[in-house]
Amino acid sequence: MNNLRNYISSSNKTVRMSQKEWNLFGDVGIIIIDPFINSINMTNVINDIERFIPSYLAYGLDSIYIGNFKEFERKETNAFYKDGAIYVSNVQDDKEDLVDDIIHELAHLVEEQRGLEIYGDDRIKKEFLAKRKKLYFLLKGEGYDINLIDLLNPEYSAEFDEFLYKEVGYPHLENIAMGLFYSPYAVTSLKEYFANGFEAFFMKKDLSFLKNISPALYDTMEKLHDGGE
């Protein structure tokens, strides 16, 4: 992360003259380190995020950096949250793709800020692990050699993610787990289960489906939407 911060610091000086000032929720700076490969209207991006997400859920977010960072290659991802900042790739298909990435990482910020509120009663964790157990039997029925212990670990495992992504394949996993998880990536860890539900509730407004398949997750989103009351 030190190399990333140094890169951002030096790049800011280089691009300052050509860079426009972007702000989310009035005080969160958006800094475009490397230009987008496709034309994206940042005003529309900001308007969408502010329309979808209550401003109080962005508490603790300092900055959003957009660029071509080496961390994306190492982690095989295009966005991540770290220490009060969101880092997003400049390789985006369109506005919706960028909005989705930022909102997903905002979910991880919300976890950091409101972890006790979200996970304190263990309802989401129990719901997630119950689904993982069902998935175990579904995968075994498909002939996959998988250990139940791996599925009962709620933390992210790169090895397990690789198994789902490369051996099972997300398209096939979606068919196997249809009606069990909102999307295949929600299977990978408890944190991604939460973030996936956050997107479904706040951005996609897929409320009835989320409530039907993940009632505990849905209830938590409602509380967050209401300010935690």
Tell me the pLDDT tens digit for each residue of 174-188.
999 889 999 999 999
Please check the confidence at residue 228 and state whether its pLDDT lies above 80: no
pLDDT band at 13 (very low <50, low <70, confident <90, very high): very low
Question: 91 with 143, same domain?
Answer: no
Among residues 105, 120, 126, which one has the least CA distance to residue 190?
A: 126
Question: 161 with 102, same domain?
Answer: no
pLDDT band at 77 (very low <50, low <70, confident <90, very high): confident
Q: How many CA atoms lie within 13 A of 93 on its CB side?
A: 4
Burial class from Cβ neighbours inside 10 Å (0-12, 13-18, 19+) for residue 86 reads buried
Question: 6 with 84, same domain?
Answer: yes
Please check the confidence at residue 103 and state whether its pLDDT lies above 90: yes
| pTM across the whole model | 0.89
Please check the confidence at residue 166 and state whether its pLDDT lies above 50: yes
CA–CA distance, 176 with 180 (Å, rounded to integer): 9
Domain span holding position 187: 121-225
Cβ-based neighbour number of residue 3 at 10 Å? 10
Question: 136 with 199, same domain?
Answer: yes
Question: 47 with 27, same domain?
Answer: yes
